Structure formats: structure tokens, C-alpha cells
Amino acid sequence: MISDRWYKNAVIYCCAIETFLDTDGDGVGDFEGMSRRLDYLQGLGVTAVWLMPFQPSPRRDHGYDITDYYGVDPRYGSLGDFVAFTHGANARGIGVIMDLVVNHTSDQHPWFRSAREGPDSPFHDWYVWADRKPPDAEKGIVFPGVQKTTWTRDARAGKYYFHRFYEFQPDLNFANPEVRTEILKIMGFWTQLGVAGFRLDAVPFVIALPDPETGKEKPDYELLREFREFVQWRSGNAVLLAEANVTPGENMRYFGDDGDRMQMMFNFHLNQHLFLALATGEAKPLADAITATRDLPATAQWALHLRNHDELDLGRLTEAERGKVFAAFGPEPEAQLYGRGIRRRLAPMLHGDRRRIELANSLLFTLPGTPVLRYGDEIGMGDDLSLPERECARTPMQWSDLEHGGFTRARKPTKPVIPEGVYGYRHVNVAAQRRDPESLLNWFERIIRMRKEVPEIGLGRPRLLRVDDPAVLAMRYDGDAGSVVFLHNLSDRAREISFRAGPKAAGESLVNLLSEDHSVAGDDGRHVVLLEGYGYRWFRRADADGVMLA
């Protein structure tokens, strides 16, 4: 399946085994369930799945607290079931990307249990210790309001250990070469079992090492190059996708000027400004974010998302900007989290408005990068705000109107399925949408097919076109074989816009890729297009003789 730089035009689907499909009736999803749904994923058109953490874990942070990096949580199946799933996925042209959570382990990991015994333990220096609580222990808390500190005293060790996240997630000590060697071994293990890449969790924290001279923390980007080199030695096609919510200036450091560090990175900067644009109906924040993050080394690629499994983190917007997004998409205190984000799923955030859901996803599929779709978003699943923190947006997949949405035959699933209301499984489920040609599910299938026919997006660099309308974003990508134009109206009002698609505009036509609504440029070389409220257009450029323009 894998072609050169396959990740540049992949469509990634993010899912958690726990909440996808339970086949053994214990109320928890499993690898067997994932395998049974591979035909569904292939039909949808996705080309890679990103599996959230599935290794043994007390699951106090959705599996981001691992106790064995070389295994599969027995609730989900065995290592054999993982291999059977990966084989089945690959046979359908779908690559498997997995989370690599190595900034920290679970406090139940045998390494930490041993480390607590004191300096004589071979694992003591695998973690970060201090005899006294450091003065900055209350700084840099990731989950404000829930997490109290970043240094917690361990009675057994008689010392404080460092943890960026919850107190049950002690940080590994990357200054220790033994730790680095072990992490490479973990990557080697899973690449040998056929994974197409890793989503590296919490990368800025992984690489923050104490400067030997000052003792202060400083990013060690060399570590990223080491990871990349190793993974590519083992598997030339495997990719590293970094989770790093950093500024546009820092992004380049993660890719490396020569493209020798991470191949992919989530574009959190763009994500926050995209939601600002959706909230205000103005294209400018989004256009500016595109410009700020447009230039990448040739092998590098953005990963794009709308909502992920965490809160919609708006921490990099100004307070006034964040206030606008809160007001539009999550004004209620229970919809907000950690003072910086919104914990709703996409559909309820956009008030279930099909036009806005399509607009947001049309942007996801046409902005520069590789789209990452979150499970359930293809049917417009909702959330359950009665669940704590980020759990509200992690409810089981809704397959049908059978009890528990067809997710499990257990009397009580371990995570509750959304039972009722507008987003309940009786209204929102795959079975119903599969039969309805106008459903959101079938819209996704069409849009994914078309996205695959427009490789210019993944391989190119967008140009922003002038449209003289603050609500409309107009982009063009040029590739070796063609040129494409995308229009998005962020406001709820219809707009008539006039624009030039490119220098060869006279007589040029814009062939609509999704409907019959084409456009031919006038004598002045300008197109005039009427966009309905929240309307979007995907066009391919052709000259006056109908020859596609490159």
C-alpha cells in the first residue's frame, strides 16, 4: 500500500479500541471488534488508523499511563490479535499508526516500582527525583484545577518525583542514555510488528532536558533526529507524528531545517485560529495562520484535526479571541475545561448545524496538511457533559439503534453510550446513515474520495487568492498535473464574490468537483461565484478549451 511520502496524502482515522466495538461482551471494545470494522473503514476511504494507547495500563488517563510497552491490554485482546488487526488493515491498504507515550510511565510500571526502592535500584535514575520540593513545583501544571503540582513526594523513596501530567504519571528521565536506548527498542518492537508510524505524545516535554551548564531546561532537538534515524533504519516508510502545541517559530525546529526530525506534526496553531475563524465568521485569522505555517521542508507535513480526544485547546489565542470562541461554541461553564479549552465534540459545538459541520470538515480536507478524522465525527456524534474532564467526548461508537448503540451486548458498557437526546444512538448511528444517501456518513465518503483525487493539497503549498470579502477564504494549490481552487464562506450570509483564480484567467473555467455549479471567467478574467451561507466550493482549473491547467 505504501508509496513514497504516503503520509502527505493520507486520510487518518483516530480511534480508541476501548470504545469502538466490543465482540466478547465484557463491555469494553477489543481488537477483534476493530478487525471486524476494517471493511467499514475501508469503505469510508481512510488510508491509516491512529490507535490510541492500547498497552496494559490502569487507564487512569485513557491509557496514557502505561505499565508495559511491549504488550496489549488483556481487555482488548492479545498481541496476536494486534498483529491480526494490523495484517487485516494492511491488506486493505490501511496503515496503522500507534501512540507512543514515553514522556512518562504509569506509577504502576515495574520500572517505577523498582525505582522507588532507592538509588540502588537499576531503574532509580530512569525517573527524575529531588530531595526537596523544588520552588517551581506549582508551575507548568498541564491540567489546572485537577492537577495540584508537578512534584509529588513518594514515601517509599523518601523523595519527590517529577510529573508533567497527573501524579500517577512519573516522567522518564531522557537525560539517561539507558532510557533513550529503551525507547528505541520499543519503537523497533512495534515497527517489526508492522506499524506505519507513531504519534509521539507530549514531544516538547520529552525533549526538555536540563542544560548541563545552567541546569535549566532546554529543548534537545537532537533527540528527535535520533528517533527519526532509528525508525527509518528499521522501516523506511514509517512516520513520526509529533504532538507538540508550540508556536510557528518553534515548529521548524521539530521538523528540522533539513527535514531530518519529525515528518509530521499537528498544526495546533492553525487549529485554534480555524475555530476563531468559525466563531467570528472572519477568514483573516485562518489566512494568517496558513501563512505563518506554510513553509515546510519537502518531506515534512502538517497533520490537521478539528476536535481530538482532548479539550479544544485555545491557550494560544489572546484572552479576547478565546472569549469569542467560548461565546460561540461553549459558553456554559460545564462545556469549558482547564480555563483554556472547550470539551465538547464537534457536532454539538456547531449546534448540530449540518452546513457548519460540512464547512468545518471541508476546511479540514483542503487546508494544507493531512486530515485526521476522529471516530464518530463521520456520523456527527455528540458528547456527554456529565462525564468528568475529557471523558465527555470519548463515549462508544454508535453503530445502530440496538441497545448501547450496537457497541456491546454487555448489560453495562464500561463507558456509557450516549443514550438519548438529539445525539443519542437511536438518532445518530452508522446503520441509519449508511442507508440514507444524504447522510453525513455518505457525505464523508464522497469528500474523502475527492480528497484522494486532489493530491495537489498534500503535496503543494497553498496560495491565498484575493476575494475582497472578509468572510471568504480562497486558496489555490498548483501541482505537476493540475491546479485547484477552494472557496469557503465562514459567515452565515450568502456572498457574491469576484476573484481571479490565476494569471491565465481569461476564458478559464473552474470545474466544480462536487456539483454541477461550474464557473467561467469573464473577459476581465474574473470569476463571479455566489456562495450560500457557510457554503464551500472545490474547483479544478481548466483553460478555455477545457484542458486542465497545471
| Catalytic residue IDs | 201, 243
Q: What is the strand order of the sheet 336-337 is part of?
A: 312-313, 341-342, 336-337
Site membership for ligand NOJ, residue 201 (CB under 6 A): yes
Using left for φ > 0, alpha for ψ between -120 and 50, and beta otherwise, residue 430 falls in alpha
Distances (CA, A) of 131 to 55, 128, 134, 210, 212: 32, 11, 9, 17, 19
Among 61, 73, 313, 383, binds ligand NOJ (CB under 6 A): 61
> Which one of 32-40, 60-68, 428-436, 510-518 is the stretch in contact with ligand NOJ (CB under 6 A)?
60-68
Distance CA 137, CA 481 (A): 55
**Nearer residue to ligand NOJ within complex by CB, 243 or 478:** 243
Inter-CA distances, 412 with 25, 272, 403, 504, 510, Å = 10, 37, 10, 63, 53
* Residue labelled with grid coordinates 463521520: 378
Minimum CB distance to ligand NOJ smaller for 338 or for 536: 338
State which residue, 103 or 439, has the beta carbon closest to ligand NOJ: 103
Q: Which is nearer to ligand NOJ, 101 or 363 (CB)?
A: 101
64 or 227: CB nearest ligand NOJ:
64
In angstroms, the Cα distances linking 117 to 112, 175, 517 are: 9, 20, 71
| Binds ligand NOJ (CB under 6 A): choice among 64, 76, 302, 423 | 64
| Residue in 202, 206, 224, 393 binding ligand NOJ, rule: CB under 6 A | 202
Contact pattern from residue 12 through residue 51 relative to ligand NOJ, giving x for each residue in contact according to CB under 6 A and a dash for the rest: ----------------------------------------
Which DSSP category does 121 fall into? S
- Cα(464)–Cα(487) distance, rounded to whole angstroms? 10
Per CB under 6 A, contacts with ligand NOJ among 240-269 are: 243
Farthest CA pair distance, the chain = 82
Residues 299-338 that bind ligand NOJ (CB under 6 A): 309-310
Shortest CA distance to 56 belongs to which of 13, 95, 15, 108? Answer: 108
Asked whether position 165 contacts ligand NOJ by CB under 6 A, the answer is: yes
Give the DSSP H or E segment for 324. helix 319-329
* Interface stretch with ligand NOJ, choices 17-25, 58-66, 457-465, 542-550 (CB under 6 A): 58-66
Which residue bears the cell 478524522? 373
For 222-244, letters b (16+ CB in 10 Å) and e give ebbeebbebbbeebebbbbbbbb
Which of 101, 172, 347, 490 touches ligand NOJ (CB under 6 A)? 101
In the complex, least distance from residue 465 CB atom to ligand NOJ, rounded to whole angstroms: 35
The least distance separating ligand NOJ from the CB of residue 202, rounded to whole angstroms, comes to 5
Check binding of 167 to ligand NOJ (CB under 6 A).
Answer: no
35 or 152: CB nearest ligand NOJ: 152
# of chain residues touching ligand NOJ (CB under 6 A): 10
Which positions touch ligand NOJ (CB under 6 A)?
Answer: 61-62, 64, 101, 165, 201-202, 243, 309-310
